[in-house]
Structure 1
Amino acid sequence: MATLFFYFAPAMLGTVLDIDSINQTYSALWGLVGLWVFLRCQGIVRIVSYVICCFLAMFSKENGVLWFAIIPLFAWGFCRLSLRRLYWFVSLALACVAIYGIARLSLPDNPIYANDEYYNLTFAAKFKNIAKFLALTCIPTDYVGIVQRTPFGMVRAVVTFLLAMPFCLSLFVSKYCYWRERAFWTLIVCILIGASIHLATLFTVMHAYASLGLEALLVAFLLNKMILSRRIMSFFILYMVAVFAIATSHWEAARASGFMAQRMGENTLRLLNTPVDSVYSITLEDTVASYSSFVVPPAKAFGWGNAAQHASGYRWPQTWRDTSLQRKDIAAIPRLVKQARREGYRCVLIYDGESISVASR
């Protein structure tokens, strides 16, 4: 049951269907492998595997550094490690992180583009991150339907929520007696540690995957305490119907966004008609809501020109530059067109949703 919970969660779909999240997958993989070996082995094998797996998790994605804290804490919470040994492993973890930090800071500084959203430290942004984390962790529903805001989508979201919640409530609320156990709270703390970096910076569906494996272990822990009655099995069947509907909705939304990108790329090449070596595009920012890699507005689906280059097999255009404009700044388009011509771009295109027009050629 916990395995199905893991594989059908929106965080799983938001990761495996997102092109830039393979690092998140490998980071979680090495962290969970390290936890498994740590619980099964003793002595030098435990120590070496702990260090190696945590470093591999960290090299995959830097939030993997948190497994240095999660693994020994998890073992202590389940009485597989004494408090004295916990302190020893914490000291080892701090030494490993310090070595990595020194090596990292000694590398040459290479300024690159940074997403400003990662540095939004306002209370509203942090509250939004926490709300996303709680929703994606504790409230199974069809978020695609909520974002699309169509009548059918809202009905789908409500129905999946009502089908899934009886199992969730029976799992977490009706068994509150287990809340007094150290193992339960250890799992909760480990989950929060796993998500902490993303909660402090930027949190999306993909980032919920960082602690998804630990959430599945929490589900397994609670299920192991329960008597699997006919009522619980009925609730679980309803839950699986709901999450399968949610997964299908997410898959279909991701597929539709992919086809939109393909369609825009092909339409661009059709409009250009003949190969050009350089294109400057002006993209009007979309006002529609977006949801991870599932519900993607046209501007993001087009990938600032990448969809057109992909459609040509990356043969042409060799150079593509894009400028995104808010709709209130539409008066700046003539100036940008003249600037592009002065800089030698052979063609200037304007994108308004899926609509494409040639401003200069």
Structure 2
Amino acid sequence: MATLFFYLAPAMLGTVLDIDSINQTYSALWGLVGLWLFLRCQGIVRIVSYVICCFLAMFSKENGVLWFAIIPLFAWGFCRLSLRRLYWFVSLALACVAIYGIARLSLPDNPIYANEEYYNLTFAAKFKNIAKFLALTCIPTDYVGIVQRTPFGMVRAVVTFLLAMPFCLSLFVSKYCYWRERAFWTLIVCILIGASIHLATLFTVMHAYASLGLEALLVAFLLNKMILSRRIMSFFILYMVAVFAIATSHWEAARASGFMAQRMGENTLRLLNTPVDSVYSITLEDTVASYSSFIVPPAKAFGWGNAAQHASGYRWPQTWRDTSLQRKDIAAIPRLVKQARREGYRCVLIYDGESISVASR
């Protein structure tokens, strides 16, 4: 049951269906492997596997550094590690992190583009991160339907929520007696640690994956305490119906976004007709809602020219430059077209949603 919870969660789909999330996947993988080996092994094998797996998790994605704290804390919470040994592993973790930090800071400084959303420290941004975390962790519903805001989508969201909640409530609320156990609160703290970096910076569906494995372990812990009565099994069947519907909706939305990118790339090549070596595109920013890699606006789906280059097998155009404009700045288009011609671009295209027009050639 916990395995199905993991594999059908929107956070899992938002990760494996995203084009830039393989680092998050491997970071969680090595962290969970390290936890498994830590609980199974003893002595020098435990220490070596702990250090190696945590470093691999950190090298995959820097939030993997949190596994240095999660693994020994988890073992202590389940009485697999004494408090004295916990302190020893905390000291080892601090030493490893210090070594990595020194090596990291000794690298040459190379200023690159940084997403400003990561540095948004306003209360509203942090509250939004926490709300996303709680929603994706505790509230199973069809978020695609909510973002689409169509009558059918909203009905789908409400129905999946009502089908899934009886099992969730029976799992977490009706068994509050287990809340007094150290293992329960250890799992809660480990989940919060796993999500902490993203809660402090930028939190999306993909980032919920960092602690999803620990959430599945929490589900398994509570299920193991329950007597699987006919009522619980009925609730679980309803839950499975809901999450299968949610997963299907998310997969279909991601598929539609991918086909839109393919369609825009092919239409661009069809409009150009003959190969050109350089293209300058002006993209009007979309006003439609977006949701991770599931509901993607045309501009982002097109990838600022990458979809067209992919459609040609990366044979042409060799050079593609894009400028995004807000719709209130549409008067700047003639100036940008002249600038592109002066810089030697062979063709200038304007993208308004999926609509494409040639401004200069």
Same fold (TM over 0.5): yes
The alpha carbon displacement at 1:109 in A equals: 1.2
User: Aligned partners of 1:145 and 1:130: how far apart in 2?
Assistant: 21
Partner of 2:112 in structure 1?
112
- The CA RMSD over aligned residues, in Å, is 0.5
The alpha carbon displacement at 1:212 in A equals: 0.2
CA deviations on 1:135-183 (whole Å, 9 max, x unpaired) are: 0000000000000111110000000000000000000010111111111
User: Aligned partners of 1:299 and 1:321: how far apart in 2?
Assistant: 14
Number of equivalent positions: 361
User: Aligned partners of 1:75 and 1:301: how far apart in 2?
Assistant: 43
Q: Which moved more, 1:67-76 or 1:324-333?
A: 324-333
The alpha carbon displacement at 1:19 in A equals: 1.1
User: Aligned partners of 2:125 and 2:336: how far apart in 1?
Assistant: 32
Partner of 1:179 in structure 2?
179
User: What secondary structure does 1:113 align onto?
Assistant: coil
The alpha carbon displacement at 1:281 in A equals: 0.4
The alpha carbon displacement at 1:9 in A equals: 0.3
The alpha carbon displacement at 1:40 in A equals: 0.8
User: Aligned partners of 1:2 and 1:24: how far apart in 2?
Assistant: 20
The alpha carbon displacement at 1:113 in A equals: 1.2
The alpha carbon displacement at 1:110 in A equals: 1.3
User: Aligned partners of 1:115 and 1:356: how far apart in 2?
Assistant: 28
CA deviations on 1:234-257 (whole Å, 9 max, x unpaired) are: 000000000000000011000000
Report runs of 4+ in structure 1 exceeding 6 Å deviation: none
Partner of 1:78 in structure 2?
78
User: Aligned partners of 1:355 and 1:254: how far apart in 2?
Assistant: 21
User: Aligned partners of 1:359 and 1:8: how far apart in 2?
Assistant: 45
User: Aligned partners of 2:51 and 2:19: how far apart in 1?
Assistant: 29
CA deviations on 1:72-117 (whole Å, 9 max, x unpaired) are: 0000101111111111000000000000000011111111111111
Identical residues among aligned pairs (%): 99
User: Aligned partners of 1:116 and 1:328: how far apart in 2?
Assistant: 22
User: Aligned partners of 1:11 and 1:224: how far apart in 2?
Assistant: 24
Partner of 2:208 in structure 1?
208
User: What secondary structure does 1:324 align onto?
Assistant: strand
Partner of 2:275 in structure 1?
275
User: Aligned partners of 1:20 and 1:244: how far apart in 2?
Assistant: 25
The alpha carbon displacement at 1:31 in A equals: 0.3
Partner of 2:346 in structure 1?
346
User: Aligned partners of 1:258 and 1:133: how far apart in 2?
Assistant: 26
User: What secondary structure does 2:15 align onto?
Assistant: helix
The alpha carbon displacement at 1:8 in A equals: 0.3
- Runs of at least 5 residues in structure 2 that lack an aligned partner in the other structure: none
CA deviations on 1:228-279 (whole Å, 9 max, x unpaired) are: 0000000000000000000000110000000000000000001111111000
The alpha carbon displacement at 1:2 in A equals: 0.3
User: Aligned partners of 2:314 and 2:141: how far apart in 1?
Assistant: 39
User: What secondary structure does 1:281 align onto?
Assistant: strand
- Runs of at least 5 residues in structure 1 that lack an aligned partner in the other structure: none
The alpha carbon displacement at 1:30 in A equals: 0.4
User: Aligned partners of 1:41 and 1:340: how far apart in 2?
Assistant: 63
Q: Do residues 36 (structure 1) and 44 (structure 2) align?
A: no
The alpha carbon displacement at 1:22 in A equals: 0.7
